[in-house]
Structure 1
Amino acid sequence: MPQATPLLRLLNVLLAPGMRTRKDPDAVFERLLQEVQEGRVPLGADDLAALDGLRLLLADHAANPDLSGMGWMSTQQQIRERLDNRAVVRDIQAKHPEVRDEPVTAPVFVVGLPRTGTTLTYNLISRSPGNRGPKLWEMTNLGLPRPEAEREKLIAQARKRFATVAKLSPAWAHLHPLVADSEEEDFMLRAHTEMFATWGPAPRYLDYVADADLTADFLFLRDALQVIAAGEAPDRWVLKHPMDLWRLPEILRAFPDARFVWTHRAPGAAVASGCSMAEATHTMYIKPGRIDLARIGQEWLGISAGGVERAIKLREQLPDSTVVDVLYDDLLADPKTVLRGVFDRLDLTWGEQDDANLAASLDRTGHRPHAYTLERYALTEAKVAEAFASYNLPPSTL
């Protein structure tokens, strides 16, 4: 069970005075917005409208009586980074309009609920020669390509930052290690995702995201990728985020030639893992002893089942060639055969470097299995099966 570490408890005490600003979250949002635009080209009306949902997210967390001092500081930091991303890209586009012509050709989106094999699949495709995914340090220091010395400095700073996160929440670090110079999920560039509910209760924001058309979010993702690799565009960008699964139309409006790799697994394990992830994150944002595990279970079952049901309906509108299915059990049984089949479907060539990448990814030396159960979150397999009644696993390809 995740516990608040002594360091986290100390920081919550030290940051308690800053909690007073929660009384006026709108003023906090305006301050953050002003800070990120200082010295840069002002954001236009369309960008401000696309970011306005973050105002609601901030207000939701500010209204939570169980939010900790660290939670309030982290909420502001996370939102500031999303605002800053937009300001940085728009400023670069204004000063270097040629970046808008950078190619983003046939990107691959790896989608699927947590613990369904997305990370292994993502790593193998993104690390294949000619491909690449956005790195964690790049997404937290968004800008044009840097000289080697500056790049190494930024990577070192990112390592230090995320080592601190691991000290604050060892459970989160075990569940989802944050590696500065490794590929990470695309939501770190975009403005909106249900993943922000892992910080704590955000009911109004979740309602907003459920009804939102996030096309502008994915158009911005394209813009950000063009900035990150200006003059160094890969053959294929590879992206990953579980909640991208039910955003296929928006993604295709931004990337008309996108392809999707959908990883599948019996949903019980995926839902339990998502709940465990939310609990680990809550530990960093919520006061000790105030985490409602049953609420987490109900919320993440709804997000997961509702999202998959939506994805099934959306997929029916797409050509069969747009989506490649990967069955988790097949991936465990024979990863090389499965992944080579994925490469074939994506018109990628498997080579010696991919063999080496697979061997490295499968090396579990020192790895501790992540334990989680549905029962901890007041869920049962029967309840999950009922929620996922419309979801059938694809047949094995082995």
Structure 2
Amino acid sequence: MLRAEAVRRTGLADFGAPGHGPALDLLVSALETEARLTPAGRAEARATLLRALCTRLRLHVLPAPPLELAPPVVLVGLPRTGSTLLHRLLDQHAALRAPRLWELLAPVSPAGEVGTSDLIAQAARHVADLRRTAPDLARIHPTGADEPEECEHLMNTDFRNSVFGLLSYRMPSYASWLAAQDLTSAYTLHRTQLAHILARRPAPAGSRLVLKSPSHLWHLPALDRAHPGTRFVVLERDVDEAIGSVCGLVSAARRKRSDHVDPVEIGREMTAATHAGLSRMYAFTTDPSAAYRCLTVRFADLVADPVATADRVLAWLGLTGDSGLHRRWRDHLSLNPRPAHVHPRAACGLAPADPPRASHALEETS
């Protein structure tokens, strides 16, 4: 049993509110009956769930630190809309702080158990394994142990993670169930974990966290309840282009864990999930209660001029960039060119992409 193993490893027994139990049970059942896992995929899923259970146990024995920063900035949109590029540029501003992969994999640990260097080394082994077993996935979504990364890892602790359910594994029953859930409890725990991360490696007073994950797309009201006052950067890309690119990402992710990957099924799933996610996102971002906290960034503009686009986001946040920041951005861009990515539209049963259409438009407000 996963729970018993987590108790044995940590010496702790309080998992907190019991609401996580049905989510974990459904997730395990879907992994066992629907995900078509290889032995390596099964071992990876088990390790991920054990890590989440151990984190949950530690969260409920340690006092939650206060989260004293300004409300976060969250990049929200479909996968493959330029969020990694923008996230890593914004993180280089002194007033913005993105969590690193090593922090997200181990947001809390007992004092004295492991040091920062050990946690970074553990994350580096995680990255090395990814590059060895799934080179296509590692190329499509580059990552590093001490690089900014998606905070979807923190959603695992409540076992309600749309990336896990929609992208990484084939789990239609879990994905359908999750789409109908209120994720307020998961985002409350997400906030608590961020507070622990900042207590271990503080950010300057007055700065903001800058966060991103495609998992947020389907659950923005819950995120906003847990993080009131959040500023949202809404990333847009032509929908047909985005679906094609997402299908490539999902195919690579699932091939890492399964030998039975159906591209046509992925095409159907990602088309439906994309349209449902966009409908939810725009219902939230165009509502007057949130629209004034949203800024649209279009993928074409970001790719054409990353520096000007990042400057525009900084200005919207009331921040400025100096020549030193611009130099660091240009160095980063030259060292990290956008990876080539072929969209497997035909293999996934998708029609050829139409010429790019005008995307939804939100007025820029402050």
- TM > 0.5: yes
Assess, with a 3 A threshold, how the Cα gap between structure 1 residues 186 and 395 changes in structure 2: closer, same or farther: closer
2:333 counterpart residue number: 362
Question: In the alignment, which residue of structure 1 is the partner of 2:183?
Answer: 214
Tell me the equivalent position of 1:11.
none
Q: For residue 221 of structure 2, give the secondary structure of its aligned residue in structure 1.
A: helix
Superposition map of 1:158-197 within 5 A = 158-191=123-156, 192-196=160-164, 197=166
Q: CA deviation at 1:193?
A: 2.1
Give the Cα separation in 2 of the matches to 1:32 and 1:264: 43
1:111 paired with 2:88, answer no
**Native 8 Å contact 2:233 2:296 kept in 1:** yes
Farther-moved stretch of structure 1 (197-206 vs 298-307): 197-206
Q: Match of 1:297?
A: 267
Higher gyration radius (CA): 1
Deviations for 1:311-364, whole angstroms, at most 9, x for unmatched residues? 111223234321111011112222222221111111222223431332133215
- Going from structure 1 to structure 2, the CA distance change for 1:396 and 1:207 (only over 3 Å counts) comes to closer
Overall identity of the aligned pairs, in %: 27
How far apart, in 1, do the equivalents of 2:332 and 2:155 lie? 27
> What secondary structure sits across from 2:297 in the alignment?
strand
Q: Which amino acid aligns with 1:85?
A: T
How far 1:224 moved relative to its partner? 0.6
SS in 2 for 1:263: strand
Separation in 1 of the partners of 2:212 and 2:8? 30
C-alpha distance in 2 between matches for 1:67 and 1:383: 35
Structure 1 residues 41 and 395 mapped into 2: Cα distance closer, same or farther (>3 Å)? closer
* Deviation, structure 1 residue 152: 2.3
Match of 2:252 in 1: 280
Quote the offset at 1:88 in angstroms: 2.0
Structure 1, unpaired ranges of 5+:
1-27
The correspondence of residues 80-99 of structure 1 with structure 2, limited to 5 A, is 80-93=50-63, 99=65
> In 2, Cα distance between the equivalents of 1:339 and 1:199?
29
The answer on 1:251 being equivalent to 2:211 is no
Match for 1:128 among 86, 93, 103?
A: 93
SS of equivalent residue, structure 1 residue 237: strand
Equivalence for 2:307: 336
Bigger helix share: 1
Distance in structure 1 (CA, Å) of the matches to 2:137 and 2:109: 30
Instruction: Report the Cα distance in structure 2 between the residues aligned to 1:341 and 1:367, rounded to whole angstroms.
Output: 21
2:251–2:263: 8 Å Cα contact kept in structure 1?
A: yes
Following superposition, the deviation at residue 106 of structure 1 comes to 1.4
Matched residue count: 355
Check whether the contact 2:296–2:362 (CA below 8 A) recurs between aligned residues: no
1:374 is paired with a residue of what secondary structure? coil
CA contact (8 A) 1:107 1:239 kept: yes
Q: Distance in 2 between matches of 1:35 and 1:273?
A: 42
What is the rounded CA distance, in whole Å, between the counterparts of 2:78 and 2:336 in structure 1? 25
Following superposition, the deviation at residue 69 of structure 1 comes to: 0.6
Alpha-carbon distance change, 106 to 353 in structure 1, aligned in 2, over 3 angstroms: farther
Task: Go from structure 1 to structure 2 and tell me whether the alpha carbon gap of 1:161 and 1:322 turns closer, same or farther (over 3 Å shift).
Answer: same
Confirm or deny that 1:139 pairs with 2:107: no
How big is the shift at 1:126? 2.2
RMSD: 2.7
**Alignment-derived partner of residue 16 in structure 1:** none
Q: Which moved more, 1:162-171 or 1:361-370?
A: 361-370
Which residue of structure 1 lines up, in the alignment, with residue 20 of structure 2?
A: 50
Deviations 1:136-195 (A, max 9, x none): 011222226989x93223212321232122111111111112300011101111132221
**CA distance 1:277–1:129, change in 2 (3 Å):** same
Query: Is 1:106–1:255's contact at 8 Å kept on the other side of the alignment?
Result: yes
Aligned to 2:232: 260
How high is the TM-score relative to the length of structure 2?
A: 0.88
Change (3 A) 1:73 1:370: same
Give the Cα–Cα distance (whole angstroms) in 2 for the partners of residues 242 and 273 of structure 1: 13
Gaps in structure 2 of 5+ consecutive residues? none
Q: Is 1:307 matched with 2:277?
A: yes
Give the counterpart letter for 1:31 in structure 2: A
Q: Deviations over 1:61-110 (max 9, x none)?
A: 101383211111111112222222222222222xxx5x1x2313210001
Equivalent residue for 1:346, pick from 300, 306, 317: 317
